[in-house]
Amino acid sequence: MTVVEPVRCSRIMNTNVPGIFFQLLAALLVNIIAITDGITLGWTAPLIPYFISEESHIKMTIHEAEMMESWLLYGAITGLPVTMFLVDRIGRKKSVLVSCCVLSICWILVAVATTVHIIYGARFVMGIGLNMAYVAMPMYVGEIAHKNIRGLLSSFTFIFMLLGVLIIYCVGTYTPYYVPPTISVALLVIQFVGFIFMPESAYYLLSKGKEEEARASLIKFRNGIGVEDEFKEMKEAYENSKTEKGRIQDIFLVRSYRKAILTMIFLNLAQLLSSYEIFLMNLHIILEEAGSTYISPGIVGIVFSAVTLTAAAAAATVVDKFGRKILMIISSFLTAICLLCIAIYFHLKVLEYDLTVVNWLPTVAVMAYALSFKFGLGIVPIVLTSEIFAPKMKAIGMTLADGMYVVSSIGALQLYFFLRDTYGMHVPFYLFALFTFFAGPYVWLFVPETKGKTLDEIQDILKEKRIFMIKNTPKNTQT
C-alpha cells in the first residue's frame, strides 16, 4: 500500500505513522510523573539555602541539607529488587500507577514535615517510587511506539523531567515551602486519573499469554492500520525469545545482552560524570562560589533549566532524523569544553588571579553546558534504554542499568563533594571534562545506531561483532 505524505507536513504528522495521536496521548500521560521527578531532583538546589538560613522552619546544617540529595539515591538503589519484580509481574502500566500513589504520599509528608528526618524518610521512599517509574515508563513507551517516532516519544521522559526542574527553580526560591509539594501531588493525581484508562502495552500482554488483549491494545495504538502484519512480527519475535531463559546471569553470558547492558552502563556513567546531576542539585551553591556579580544564582537557575528544556525538545525533534550516535558524539565534545572552561576558572580563582573582568564566564559556561549536554548526552540514553534490551531481558536489563545509574549518581556526588572539599572546586570539573571528552570515541566505536529500526532488528545488530561497521540500513517494512 502506497502512502502519500502531504506537502509541507511536519514530521510529527507523518502519515506513515498510524495511530500517532493515541500514541502521543499515552506517552504524554505516562510521562507526567517525570515532571515530579524533575521537581524532586531539583528541589534541593533552591531549598538548601533556605534550610540553612535563619528563616527555615526546619533548622539544618549544610551537611544535613546536602544529605537530602543522598537519601533520594539510597532509596532508588534499595528499590531495585521491587522494581525488577513488579514491572514483569503486574505490568508497565500498573507499575507507573503504583509509583504515582507512592510519590503522592511522600510529597504530602514533605509538605507537613517538621524535622529533617521526616524529609529523609520521604525522599528515601521517593527514590523507590522514582526507580520503578524510570524503568516502567521507557519500557511502556518503547513497546507502544511506532518505530518511526520511538525516539521522539521516548524523549518525552527527559523533556518532562526538565520541565519539572524549570518549575522548581521558578517556584522553589520565590514561593512558600508548601507550594512545590502541592504542585507535585496535583500533577500525580492528574496522571493517575488520565493514565488509568490507557491500555497496557501489547508486548507485555503477549508475554503473559493474553493474545486477544494484546491485539486489541495494538489496534488502539495503530488506529487499526497494518495491525495484523505488525502483530504477526511481534508474535514471531516473542516466540523466538521464548527459547531465551531470561536469567539474571544471562545478561553477562549472552553476547547481545552483554553489549546492551555495557552500553547502558557506560552511557549512564557518561551522563553522571559529565556532572549534570551535580549541577542540578548544587547549581546555586556552585554559582555563589564562582562569585558572579552580573546575575543572581536564582535567576541563573531558571535560565539554566529553560535552556536545558529547549535543547532537549530540539533534540527530540531530530533524534529520529539524524540518529542517536551523531548527537551523542557532538554533545560529548562540546560538553567537555564547557566543563573545562569552568574548571580553568575555578583553578585561576584558587591561584588568586583577579577574575573581575571575566566573572561572567561561569554563568556563560553553565548555559553553554546546558545546551550542549541536553542536545545529546542528556536525552539519547533514555531513548536507547527503551530500545536496546530483548523482550525477555527488559525488566532485568533496565533495572540493572537503572541500578548502575543510581550507584553512579551516589559515587559521582560523593566524589564531587570529596574533591571539592579536599582539593578545590576546579579538580572535580577537570576530571568530569576528561571523562566526557572520551565518551565521544566510545559512542562511535561501541554504541549501535537504532534509528528507524524495529526492536527485533536492534537485537540482530547487537549480535554482530563490530558495532561501528554496521550501516544504518533498516529493512523497508511497512507497518
| pLDDT at 334 (0 to 100) | 94
Place of cell 484508562: 197
Domain count, the chain: 1
Domain carrying residue 249: 19-198+244-469
Identify whether 299 is part of a domain: yes
**Which has the minimum average pLDDT: 190-204, 215-229, 372-386?**
372-386
Which CATH number covers residue 274? 1.20.1250.20
Res 13 pLDDT > 70: no
User: Between helices 179-195 and 150-171, what is the axis angle to 10°?
Assistant: 150
- Residue 398 pLDDT exceeds 80: no
23 domain residue, yes or no:
yes
Confidence of residue 198 (pLDDT cuts 50, 70, 90): very high
Contact in structure between 132 and 120 (CB atoms under 8 Å):
no
Take residue 192 and report the three cell numbers written for it.
Answer: 493517575
Summarised one tens digit per residue, pLDDT across range 223-262 is 888 788 888 888 877 776 666 556 777 777 788 888 888 8
For 459-473, how does the pLDDT look when each residue is reduced to its tens digit (9 = 90+)?
Answer: 788 877 555 444 444
User: 215: which DSSP letter?
Assistant: H
Phi, psi (degrees; rounded to nearest 5) at 242: -65, -20
Whole-angstrom distance, CA of residue 45 vs CA of residue 423 = 23
Structural domain contains residue 217: no
Angstrom distance (rounded) from CA 129 to CA 82: 10
Nearest to 208, CA basis, from 88, 98, 81, 82: 88
10 in any annotated domain: no
Between 477 and 402, the higher pLDDT residue: 402
User: Ranked by mean pLDDT, which of 281-285, 328-332, 460-464 comes out on top?
Assistant: 328-332
To which H or E segment does residue 142 belong?
helix 116-144
Q: Is residue 134 part of a domain?
A: yes
Torsion angle of C-alpha atoms 260, 262, 267, 273, degrees rounded to 10: 170
Q: How far apart are CA 55 and CA 378, in angstroms?
A: 36
C-alpha pair distances (Å), 179 with each of 51, 100, 155: 15, 18, 27
The answer to whether residue 48 scores a pLDDT higher than 60 is yes
* Amino acid of residue 112: V
1 falls within a domain = no
Question: Does residue 458 lie within any of the structural domains?
Answer: yes
Q: Which residue has the cell 520521604?
A: 122
Rounded to the nearest 10°, the torsion over CA 95, 99, 102, 106 is 160
Residue 301 has pLDDT above 50, yes or no: yes
Q: For residues 14, 17, 19 and 24, what is the CA-based torsion angle, rounded to 10 degrees?
A: -70
Question: Residue 28 in 3-state DSSP?
Answer: helix
The reply to whether 444 falls in a domain is: yes
Mean pLDDT computed over 268-295? 77
Residues sharing a CB contact under 8 Å with residue 163, sequence separation 6 or more, in sequence order:
35, 38, 309
Task: Identify which has the larger pLDDT, 200 or 473.
Answer: 200
DSSP 147-214: TTTHHHHHHHHHHHHHHHHHHHHHHTTTS-TTHHHHHHHHHHHHHHHHHTTSPPPHHHHHHTT-HHHH
